[in-house]
């Protein structure tokens, strides 16, 4: 990367744009703005690029920071950014199907009416009841009730079997990281899968009932790191400077924005912050009280991932498995099935992700998660040759009944936010990409671009 920072009149370095954080949101932002002609500095507090979207080696296995499947790949916001700004595009391998394990049986996830009728892992009477409930939503929708304030648990009530509750709870955890009593109905209806051009409720319902879902999902060959490598390789020469191991300590606005890190001081015209929005009151002085208060409502959940390197291939299906039977609920993704170079020859690498209920009792939670894995597929225990675990926060704001999302604009001129806590749509990388697209349009409105 070329050295493009210019020492200002005083002791600070000056850039047109400073991006705080080198996760996928920060890197995509830096790429887009540099391709739009801006000189950009990226400041990252860790020594790594990618944030919770990167890969590294453990005993010859290449693990990701949690199992990752990219959603809406062909028709979503990442594709839009890749088409416009990437010089190098990673190779993607289709995800395959989502399988659900419940009551010791396994079936493909029921994406549509036909799948639902065949989904006999839960009682037929519950399936009919849930279908009627789904139709009933149209009345709630028309009555103007806010479906982001109504939980899935409230909607379905208690008249369902234990296994149906487990299924709904498991899916809620999978989609939002929280239980069905905290997951808003809107989170499910918000899905692009349910979207239509006219966006009428009946059209959405039609899509839920008739369309095949999750066909537009994929894993990047070479691991999730290949996405980060593609972004970095696409940075225009001499327009992007990256400094790792520099934590931003304070941001002060005035004529110019001044940024102090653990090592240096910088100035810029525009600052984009991609860390936790809830941290900015600690970085920027004198934010209005209401703003600080609204940021305190951002709700986050932690995930535990256990990576197992297996000395033989145990997962042979064409996608990933959602375990509603296990405690904790678990998502098992055999990533070496997408790219066998991620595991040594003849081995298999599988990521098992679950919600971390209690950050303070980690050893116990880890043991519980491992036992859950062995209780579902006992033979795994005899084939482990590598174990690695990670505790990470998948999204900077989880979708719950009372959660808030942050605005892209802050009350301070020239300072903007980007990342998964500034956007409600979708999840993970797709949500991060939506937030970058929204940021770019805000910057255009504000004549920064």
Ligand X SMILES: Cc1cc2nc3c(=O)[nH]c(=O)nc-3n(C[C@H](O)[C@H](O)[C@H](O)COP(=O)(O)OP(=O)(O)OC[C@H]3O[C@@H](n4cnc5c(N)ncnc54)[C@H](O)[C@@H]3O)c2cc1C
Would you tell me which residues interact with ligand X (CB under 6 A)? 20-26, 43-46, 51-53, 65-70, 247-248, 274-275, 303, 305, 353, 392, 394-395, 419-420, 427-430, 432
Which of 283/386 has CB closer to ligand X?
283
DSSP β-ladder status, 415-417 and 265-273: parallel
Residue for token pair 């062995």: 374
Residues 6+ apart with CB under 8 A from 198: none
Minimum CB distance to ligand X smaller for 21 or for 222 = 21
Q: Which of 164, 337 has the CB closer to ligand X?
A: 337
**Whole-number Å distance between alpha carbons of 213 and 33:** 33
- As measured in angstroms, the least distance from the Cβ of 199 to ligand X is 24
**Shortest CB 243 distance to ligand X, Å:** 9
Beta bridge partners of 352: 306, 332
Q: Reduce the DSSP state of residue 211 to 3 states and report it.
A: coil
- The answer to whether 420 and 324 have CB atoms below 8 angstroms apart is no
State which residue, 248 or 370, has the beta carbon closest to ligand X.
Answer: 248
**Minimum separation from the CB atom of position 64 to ligand X (A):** 8
CB 249 within 8 A of CB 260: yes
Q: How far is the CB of 432 from ligand X (least distance, A)?
A: 4
> Shortest Cβ distance from residue 133 to ligand X (Å)?
28
Q: 328: cis peptide before it, omega within 30°?
A: yes
Pick between residue 26 and residue 414 the one whose CB is nearest to ligand X: 26
- The β-bridge partners of 242 are 42
Q: E strands of 201-338, at which residues?
A: 218-220, 240-243, 248-253, 257-261, 265-273, 302-310, 320-323, 330-333
CA distance 32 to 19: 12
22 vs 156, beta carbon nearer ligand X: 22
| Total Cβ atoms within 10 A of residue 393 | 17
The nearest distance, CB 224 to ligand X, in angstroms, is: 7
Q: Note whether 429 and 227 are within 8 A (CB).
A: yes
CB nearer to ligand X: give 111 or 141: 111
Q: Please, are residues 400 and 178 in contact by the beta-carbon 8 Å criterion?
A: yes
Length of the chain: 449
- Residues 369/328, Cβ–Cβ less than 8 Å: yes
Closest CA to 20 of 275, 228, 243: 275
Smallest gap from Cβ 150 to ligand X, in A, equals 25
Nearer to ligand X, 21 or 309 (CB): 21
Q: In angstroms, rounded to a whole number, what is the distance separating the alpha carbons of residues 61 and 415?
A: 40
Smaller CB distance to ligand X: residue 141 or 352? 352
Q: Which is nearer to ligand X, 22 or 232 (CB)?
A: 22
219, β-bridge pairs: 93
Q: How far is the CB of 43 from ligand X (least distance, A)?
A: 5
Query: Cβ of residue 230: shortest distance to ligand X, in angstroms?
Result: 14
* Integer Cα distance of 438 and 440 in angstroms: 5
Smallest separation (angstroms) from ligand X to the CB of 57: 18
Q: Contact, 270 vs 256, CB < 8 A?
A: no
């Amino acid at each position: 990367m070329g050295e493009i920072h210019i020492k200002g009149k005083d002791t600070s370095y000056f850039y047109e744009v400073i991006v705080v954080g080198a996760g996928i949101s920060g890197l995509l932002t830096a790429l887009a703005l540099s391709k739009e002609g801006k000189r950009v500095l990226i400041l990252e507090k860790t020594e790594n690029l990618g944030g919770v979207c990167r890969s590294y080696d453990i005993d010859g296995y290449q693990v990701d920071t949690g199992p990752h499947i990219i959603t809406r790949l062909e028709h979503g916001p990442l594709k839009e950014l890749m088409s416009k700004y990437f010089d190098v595009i990673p190779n993607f391998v289709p995800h395959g199907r989502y399988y659900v394990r419940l009551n010791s049986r396994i079936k493909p996830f029921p994406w549509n009416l036909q799948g639902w009728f065949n989904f006999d892992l839960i009682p037929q009477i519950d399936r009919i009841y849930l279908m009627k409930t789904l139709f009933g939503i149209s009345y709630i929708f028309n009555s103007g009730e806010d479906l982001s304030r109504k939980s899935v648990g409230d909607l379905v009530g208690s008249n369902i079997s234990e296994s149906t509750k487990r299924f709904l709870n498991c899916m809620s955890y999978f989609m939002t990281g929280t239980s069905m009593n905290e997951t808003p109905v809107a989170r499910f209806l918000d899905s692009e899968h349910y979207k239509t051009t006219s966006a009428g409720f009946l059209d959405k319902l039609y899509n839920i009932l008739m369309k095949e879902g999750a066909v537009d999902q994929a894993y990047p060959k070479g691991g999730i790191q290949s996405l980060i490598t593609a972004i970095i390789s696409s940075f225009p020469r001499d327009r992007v400077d990256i400094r790792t191991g520099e934590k931003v300590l304070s941001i002060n606005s005035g004529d110019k924005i001044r940024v102090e890190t653990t090592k240096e001081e910088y100035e810029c015209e525009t600052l984009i912050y991609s860390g936790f929005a809830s941290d900015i009151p600690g970085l920027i002085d004198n934010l209005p009280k209401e703003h600080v208060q609204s940021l305190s409502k951002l709700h986050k959940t932690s995930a535990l991932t256990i990576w197992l390197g297996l000395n033989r291939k145990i997962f042979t299906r064409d996608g990933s498995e959602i375990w509603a039977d296990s405690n904790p609920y678990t998502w098992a993704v055999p990533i070496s099935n997408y790219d066998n170079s991620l595991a040594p020859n003849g081995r298999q690498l599988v990521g098992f992700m679950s919600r971390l209920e209690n950050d303070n009792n980690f050893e116990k939670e880890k043991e519980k998660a491992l036992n859950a894995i062995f209780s579902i597929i006992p033979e795994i225990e005899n084939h482990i040759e590598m174990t690695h675990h990670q505790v990470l926060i998948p999204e900077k704001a989880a979708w719950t009944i009372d959660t808030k999302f942050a605005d892209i604009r802050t009350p301070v001129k020239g300072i903007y936010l980007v990342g998964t806590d500034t956007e409600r749509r979708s999840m993970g990388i797709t949500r991060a990409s939506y937030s970058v697209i929204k940021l770019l349009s805000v910057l255009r409105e504000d004549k920064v671009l």
